[in-house]
Chain A
C-alpha cells in the first residue's frame, strides 16, 4: 500500500432473484487509492465467497462492473475509494437500477444488449464518425493506410439506463444508450429504418430531458446530446414527408 490504510465499512445490497433484498456490512482495511471494485473483490476473496458481481477488464473498457456507489451509477474499476468516502466512512454499493437483479450486484442486461443489436450498433467505426460531431478532431499519432478506425466510445455498461428516470417506469423505453447508438449509426449510414426506430413513443419521445445519462456516462458518449440531435433529424424527416409523402413500402409477396 502506498498510503496510510483507511478503515471503511462497505454495505452491499444482497439479493437472490425473486427474494427480498437485504444489506450486509463488511469492515475492510483499504488503500484510499484502490478502486471500489478492488474492495468488492477482496470481500469476495476473504469474507464471503457467495457474493456475486460482474467484472472483466478492470480498465473501463468492457463495461461489466457498473454498480451504484452511494446511490450514483459508477464504473467501479475506475472509481477510487478516496472519491466516494473518507477514513472511517461507509460506502454503499447497490446493483444498477432498471434491470432485473439476477443475484447481488449482477443484473440481467439481456434485453438491453438485444436492443443495441437492433440498432445495428457496431463498436468499430471510422475515427471521424466515432467521435461526437461537436468535438474537435484529434491528430492521430500514427497514420495508417486508408481511413483509420477505432472503437466507439459506448462500452454498453448500462449506467445511463440505470440513471434515467424515464427508464425507471417504462418497460418498453429503449433507453439512452440505444438511442445514442441509433444516432451514431445514422451519422455513418443514414437510413429510414434507423429514423423509424428512433421515432417511436418508446424511443426518442420518451426522453424527458433529465440529462442523467450524460452525467453518469463514463465514456463521454453524451447520450442526451445525441437524443436531442436525433430529434432534429426525425423532425426534418416528418416535415419532408408532409411536403413529399413517401410511397408505401412494397410488401413481399
Chain B
C-alpha cells in the first residue's frame, strides 16, 4: 500500500496493530455497519419469498429455524446493539459532549452491549 493518502489504503482501517481504544471503536463501527448492510440485503431477499407463494415462504421459515441461522440472528442483534451504542458515543462527542471521557464511555457502553447480547443469547437459545 502506498505511504501517502490513497483510497486503496482502506484495508488499513481494519488493522488494529499499534492502535489505541479509539480505533477499536472505529473498527467495530465499520465492521458492524457492513454486517448490518449485508443483513438488510439478505432480509429483503427473504421477504421476496412472500411473493413466491405460501409453500416457498413456509419452506424458508423452516430453514431459518436451524440453530446456525439463530446464531446469525444473534450476530445481527450484537451488531445492532454495538453499532447503536457506539454511535451514541460518537454523536455526543461530535458535539463536544464527553470528548475527554470518550474511552471510559466506550468501555461502559460496550459492557452494556455485552450484557444485552448475553441476555438475548440466553433468551433465544433457552427457548429451543
Q: Which A residues contact B (CB, under 8 angstroms)?
A: 68, 70-72, 95, 97-101, 107, 134, 165, 167-171, 173, 208-212, 215, 224-225, 228-229, 231-232, 235
Contacts and interface: CB of A to CB of B under 8 A. Distances in A.
Most B CB within 10 A of own CB, among A107, A170, A208:
A208
Nearest to A132: B100
B26 A99 contact: no
Nearest to A233: B96
B99 A224 contact: yes
A23 to B, nearest CB: 14
A98 B12 CA distance: 12
A72 to B, nearest CB: 5
Contacts of B17: 71
B67 to A, nearest CB: 36
A99 B23 CA distance: 20
B13 interface: yes
A168 B5 contact: yes
Contact of B23 (A98, A167, A212): A212
A169 B22 contact: no
Given A100-B4, A210-B23, A231-B94, 8 more contacts: A71-B18, A98-B4, A101-B3, A165-B13, A169-B7, A209-B26, A231-B95, A232-B96
Contact of A228 (B5, B22, B93): B93
Interface residues of B, number: 26
B66 interface: no
Contacts of B20: 211-212, 215
| Minimum-distance CB pairs A-B, first 10 | A211-B22, A71-B18, A210-B26, A232-B96, A215-B20, A100-B4, A171-B5, A72-B18, A210-B22, A228-B99
B102 interface: yes
B26 A165 contact: yes
Contact of A170 (B5, B21, B26): B5
Contact of B22 (A107, A171, A173, A209): A209
Contact of B19 (A170, A209, A212): A212
B108 interface: no
A146 B44 CA distance: 69
Contacts of B3: 95, 97-101, 107
